[in-house]
Structure 1
């Protein structure tokens, strides 16, 4: 019984580090289309896609102000993670463009990478699954999660002003030994990262 209590307490310490380092990055692809225009006033359009973390509400655009550098958003899955259990979080992705006409997008979540921080072997026992959902409330429902393939997880088409949700499930294997739990001073923590890509529909190589 003493060993079990030690494992549970250790998992809480290790996972506090894991959750603080679960991040998504965003990039844009093919933000252009060709159309004829009559002489007149030309105005610029903003092709923004907004990311909002489920649970914390933290927000950012997919790229920084220069329009080229990918932004990073830290996710904080809710729940207590221990051996054989999972915690859940996600990101709401909104097509926030003010471009005229139809401007639909599709979002792809790439396969997550799990890497040990400062050495250790905790990453071996961490798995990350995902699903596309209609609302952030769906992220707390354990049904429907699956591994993300090399091709990525693609959302349905997102219209201007519309949103889609990517939910993530972070799990710690029930076989995780005490040597990878409760040792934050020895580097037993991991970073988890995935990349989101927004693609414009209705243009060559689009959705």
Structure 2
């Protein structure tokens, strides 16, 4: 499943930064198996991943009620962004499936892109890092943040009812010129949730 989000940060001195994060869609792995079963009732299950913003607590499902539309969730960082400083935010992803048996998932954050808004030049001075965590409290600590590589940043396996946390850090270079004051950037990032059962080394 994919997720889209946004971090918003207003620059105190040099710039305004809008971090547009995460669009969520479903990604499904298909596999085939057969078995003989006694007559009974067949029940469909949902692949339901819930998202909650850190620190605001705003929440949504990755896919809206129609089962096709990607969710959007605004991320609000914990502070204002000024040259030489960073702002932090995060997303708690919870595996809320009602499927029977094992239903572990792994969530992957794709490589984020930083783009200027309205022809500005602020993106040159903005650095975006991420990390996974076991608690949302870890998002406000600087340890562990790193650029997202081309393969993305993947969580540990998340079982039914379990959660994982993705933390995000946006930093403004200390040498950002006064000419970028009031400018904005969008940071786009895609999250994908994938069921592990039915694949090699899954469940």
TM-score higher than 0.5 here? yes
Within a 5 Å distance, the mapping from 1:22-171 to structure 2 comes to 22-30=20-28, 34=33, 36=35, 37-171=37-171
For 2:195, the equivalent position in structure 1 comes to: 200
Label 1:113 to 1:206 Cα distance change in 2 as closer, same or farther (>3 A): farther
* Greater share of helix: 1
CA distance in 1, matches of 2:195, 2:149: 22
Paired residues, number: 190
Q: How much has 1:70 moved relative to structure 2? A: 1.9
Q: How much has 1:68 moved relative to structure 2? A: 2.6
Structure 2 SS opposite 1:44 = coil
Q: Deviations over 1:20-49 (max 9, x none)?
A: x43212233225554534321111211100
Structure 1 SS opposite 2:194 = strand
For 2:4, the equivalent position in structure 1 comes to: none
Indicate conservation of the 8 Å contact 2:12/2:81, yes or no.
no
TM-score of the two chains, using structure 2 as the length reference: 0.87
Q: Deviations over 1:140-176 (max 9, x none)?
A: 1110000000110000000000000000000001111
> Structure 2 stretches of 5 or more lacking a match?
1-10
Q: RMSD value over aligned CA atoms?
A: 1.8
TM-score of the two chains, using structure 1 as the length reference: 0.85
CA distance in 1, matches of 2:63, 2:200: 21
Indicate conservation of the 8 Å contact 1:31/1:47, yes or no.
no
Q: How much has 1:86 moved relative to structure 2? A: 0.4
Runs of 4+ displaced beyond 4 Å: none
